[in-house]
Structure 1
């Protein structure tokens, strides 16, 4: 008998079932609740270098009721093949009993919690939450940010810039299916003056945005998560620091935010999303750059929601056959 069918084994959710457990509004709310929960513990993540420039990421976190560990591989060599670059699982445990409760799809957790963190930040920091929204990068994170902002903030116009014309058109079709107007733009910088909401969602192999954002802009930069990676031009980052405000997703970004570190910025003084939710004032003028590098706390928030869904959502975990 296959091990995943043994009596007493926890439900193993595929990508679709994992996504169904994490509706955008509820996930953003759960992330906010986690940032106010004093029982949350998030050790530093472990990164194990593998052959072929691949990495294994081990990211644990726990609160008073739920513990989880995300185990994912990032394999750049899978680009252009049918194998995804990111693979893995999130294993969720009950703290009181030690029992495994769920096994969630790791790439789906990563995509949805990242976009939900951007959504939460935009709800608190965006000056023009109605958009239009410019998405730079039409991959998994581009799709997640499209859905989060259209379904979670009622954005009704989306502009898409991507190196891949086919991927950009796919994202436009998804926007239309969600009831939003959408277009492909050849140059992201040319779209910046028209879009007060911007999400850069690329692999961060090169700078993809250099134009200074509008005074009312909210920019979520999520692609770069190491000091060697950057999506934003240094001059853009310095422009926002001088004329607006920069907010980090977590304290971990202080040593991971390549966009800011390569711009020579002192990240030690920058506020985090936790600071914003705890009442630290962000003056209501100038553009806002939200720099997101990822944190296991966001995965814990997704695990908490999957194990303890709000009664109003009406969804329940479904095991894969």
Structure 2
């Protein structure tokens, strides 16, 4: 199984490097294309540089929703070290970011874990929490029974046991019981009912535009709020933008990496990730360790 815990540590190190002024990444460039968006995301440190170019087409059925690649470059010389598959890199690094946030922010990391969605991100998050937190009670929910069962079968082939639910009442029951929740869908409207436990940790990873929100505004309003990157979230985190959050109450992940875990008592914790090129840089550092001065 892929080493999600190691990648989560690599992401923490890259965030610390940015805080020290040693790693850099501008806001990503988003260009509308028919049926989707083209994203370009560069980042660099003293060892390597990356440029991820991907397209996201939520309506795709015969082709993957995310397609593209990550070009990895030696910073000092411009030498091309190689190319990483864009969808695989995106899925793994996003799951590793959620894992890092859960390790720092979740009150109860033992589970149960509810994953809403049945795509690449959903499977990656189930694997990451299974490996990195030791969660053994995982429920996967979705509207399409065939897709959910296919995702569960793929995870079972890796030794990860997942229970599937599709009926609305069963999903609500799983939501009430879950200590950890991941929403990983392409929905523009909330997919999670606000019936969660008071100590729940929620990672919302599916939406990345200001118009889309997987979480209900009522949950966002009463939760302690965290993001993967504050500047990007202010532009792209529809879950927070549609809820009208006070950004002064939102904390970036790089500000909670060290010291005692800042776990709020008696309040849900919501972690919103919209993605950032620094996380691709961390994945490339892990993949090309030894190939450059990283």
- Partners of 2:26 and 2:252 in 1: CA distance: 18
1:198 pairs with 2:181: yes
- Is contact 1:221–1:292 with CA below 8 Å preserved after alignment? yes
- Partners of 2:145 and 2:98 in 1: CA distance: 25
- Displacement of 1:133 in angstroms is 0.4
> Which of 281, 284, 294 in structure 1 is aligned with 2:275?
294
Matches within 5 A, 1:182-261: 182-185=162-165, 186-187=167-168, 188-240=171-223, 245-251=224-230, 252-261=232-241
Taking structure 1 as reference, are residues 284 and 44 closer, same or farther at Cα in structure 2, changes over 3 Å only? closer
Taking structure 1 as reference, are residues 239 and 304 closer, same or farther at Cα in structure 2, changes over 3 Å only? same
> Which of 20, 42, 58 in structure 1 is aligned with 2:25?
42
1:66 pairs with 2:45: no
- Partners of 1:211 and 1:217 in 2: CA distance: 11
Q: Structure 1, unaligned stretches of length 5 or more?
A: 1-19, 311-321
- Partners of 1:277 and 1:309 in 2: CA distance: 26
Task: Report Cα offsets for 1:229-284 as digits up to 9, x if no partner.
Answer: 110111121122xxxx1111112112211011111111243111101014486244
Which one is further off, 181-190 or 153-162?
Answer: 181-190
Matches within 5 A, 1:254-293: 254-279=234-259, 282-285=262-265, 286-293=267-274
1:133 pairs with 2:116: no
- Is contact 1:53–1:76 with CA below 8 Å preserved after alignment? yes
Which one is further off, 264-273 or 159-168?
Answer: 264-273
Q: CA RMSD in A?
A: 1.9
- Partners of 1:139 and 1:128 in 2: CA distance: 25
- Is contact 2:90–2:280 with CA below 8 Å preserved after alignment? yes
Q: Structure 2, unaligned stretches of length 5 or more?
A: none
Which one is further off, 260-269 or 24-33?
Answer: 260-269
- Partners of 1:225 and 1:41 in 2: CA distance: 21
- Is contact 2:175–2:193 with CA below 8 Å preserved after alignment? no
- Partners of 2:44 and 2:269 in 1: CA distance: 31
What TM-score results when the alignment is normalised by the length of structure 2? 0.91
- Is contact 1:111–1:140 with CA below 8 Å preserved after alignment? yes
- Is contact 2:104–2:261 with CA below 8 Å preserved after alignment? no
- Is contact 1:254–1:268 with CA below 8 Å preserved after alignment? no
- Is contact 2:237–2:272 with CA below 8 Å preserved after alignment? yes
Taking structure 1 as reference, are residues 157 and 174 closer, same or farther at Cα in structure 2, changes over 3 Å only? farther
SS in 1 for 2:128: helix
- Partners of 1:44 and 1:154 in 2: CA distance: 34
SS in 1 for 2:182: strand
- Partners of 2:134 and 2:227 in 1: CA distance: 24
Which one is further off, 249-258 or 204-213?
Answer: 204-213
SS in 2 for 1:48: strand
1:168 pairs with 2:148: yes
SS in 2 for 1:271: strand
User: Larger Cα Rg: Structure 1 or Structure 2?
Assistant: 1
- Is contact 2:104–2:262 with CA below 8 Å preserved after alignment? no
- Displacement of 1:298 in angstroms is 0.7
Matches within 5 A, 1:30-109: 30-37=10-17, 38=20, 39-50=22-33, 52-77=34-59, 79-81=60-62, 83-109=63-89
